[in-house]
Structure 1
């Protein structure tokens, strides 16, 4: 049985809330996190989740969380992200 439009939206809302809860637990707040309204009425299986916009500090904090280097004291300073380390030369 296919999901109704309301069931798809409810499932997407639950996913957004779970994501918001886990991001908050990791110290990351994406203020624009929401369901993409343009995909709610479409024929996609599930609406898309719009991660939205955030400031640079929050983006770097998310990088640190994903890289496993977040300490809870904030993001690494600009230019000190895991991907900015100089590559080793052989």
Structure 2
């Protein structure tokens, strides 16, 4: 089974590049290597990290931690999905 973890955060005003670099560093330093990893950004200094794992849906998987509160405009959002179809 393939499980995808999504981690999304919005940076505090003027700290978008810092949050992006923080997420890049943490995504590369996970305790295990995912099958796939993508890091994206969007307007309003939002950063999205997607990791794909060959694991059961409820498996314990390494996730990005919470950044320091001063780096964020709001709390981190996290979601977990299981793949049902792919190309």
Higher helix share: 1
Higher strand share: 2
TM over 0.5: no
Select the structure of larger CA radius of gyration.
1
Q: Considering Cα pairs closer than 8 Å and 6+ residues apart, tell me whether 1 or 2 has the greater RCO.
A: 2
With structure 2 as the length reference, what TM-score do the two structures score? 0.40
